[in-house]
Amino acid sequence: MLAFKATTSFPPLLLAAPDTIQQHQTRLLPAAMPEYKLIYFNARGRAELVRWIFAYGDIPYTDERFEMEDWPEKKPSVPGGRVPVLLVDDKPLLQSLAIARYAARQASLIPEDSLEAARCDALVDTTAEIMGEVYSNVFKLDKEKMAEVFKDDLTPKLITPFLTSLEADLEDQEWFASGQVTWADLAIGLVVGGLKQFDADLLSQYPGVEALVSRVMALPNIKEWNDKQPELNF
């Protein structure tokens, strides 16, 4: 099992144990931040968006990972019995998108306007849907067959309609919603960017989306996080 603290640019005080934080709290510090522990396979999968959000927001957390083959043994000790799970002061929060939205709220990655926030939700839901469909195929097909299914089935059915609407929505905006980086931009960078492994030219007809993906990848905290990531199968 791997367990390591994510490196952050937070002042050391906030990385100390919670009782130490409380003892030393002053008006200069935000309200005591909960202790976060994210538990997932040693994979990107359904946890990586949460990790990107924590990285973007410089939010300290324990990134606890285990190998796939250890899951049956590990499962009984995991609160809620499913992963990803985020422990917030030891209380389990389940469901990858609920965790990501909560983290995004802490990282100021959600628009204040409720309709703009909803547009981000919809976009993240669609990226998750695409990711789910892609991986359900990746896990059962060999590389050649997967390339075929990606091109002939997934692209026309799911990916083209999504990229087309995204390109239209973006127009010449720098970010997708509210003129600010949101968790929807991070989800696009992660999921749409990741799809290029199945078709290197995927974004050639979507210059706005391609530029958005590059912009997300170039965010300093995201770049730093990705640069230090180990090689992972998914």
| Tokens representing residue 131 in the block | 């990711």
Q: How far is the CB of 183 from a copy of itself (least distance, A)?
A: 13
Q: Considering beta carbons, is residue 134 or 184 the nearer one to a copy of itself? A: 184
Considering the complex, state which of residue 1 and residue 98 has its C-beta at the smaller distance from a copy of itself: 98
Interface residues with a copy of itself (CB under 8 A)?
A: 34, 80-82, 88, 93-95, 97-99, 101-102, 105-106, 114-115, 117-119, 121-122, 125-126, 161, 165
Under a CB-based contact definition with an 8 Å cutoff, are residues 117 and 111 in contact?
A: yes
- Provide the residue type at 124 as one letter: V
Work out how close the CB of 59 gets to a copy of itself at its nearest, in angstroms, rounded to a whole number. 13
Beta strand residue intervals within the chain, DSSP E: 2-5, 36-41, 62-66, 85-88, 91-94
Judged by phi (left if over 0) then psi (alpha if -120 to 50, else beta), residue 35 lies in: beta
Nearer to a copy of itself, 73 or 112 (CB): 112
Taking the least distance from each CB to a copy of itself, the nearer of 42 and 107 is 107
Any idea of the CA torsion for 176, 119, 97, 220, to the nearest 10 degrees?
10
Please, what is the minimum distance in Å from the beta carbon of residue 194 to a copy of itself? 20
Residue 229 Cβ vs a copy of itself, minimum distance, rounded to whole Å: 26
Closer residue to a copy of itself (CB): 117 or 188: 117
Distances (CA, A) of 32 to 16, 22, 76, 127: 11, 7, 30, 33
Residue 95: CB atoms within 10 A of its CB come to 15
Cβ 121 to a copy of itself shortest distance, Å? 4
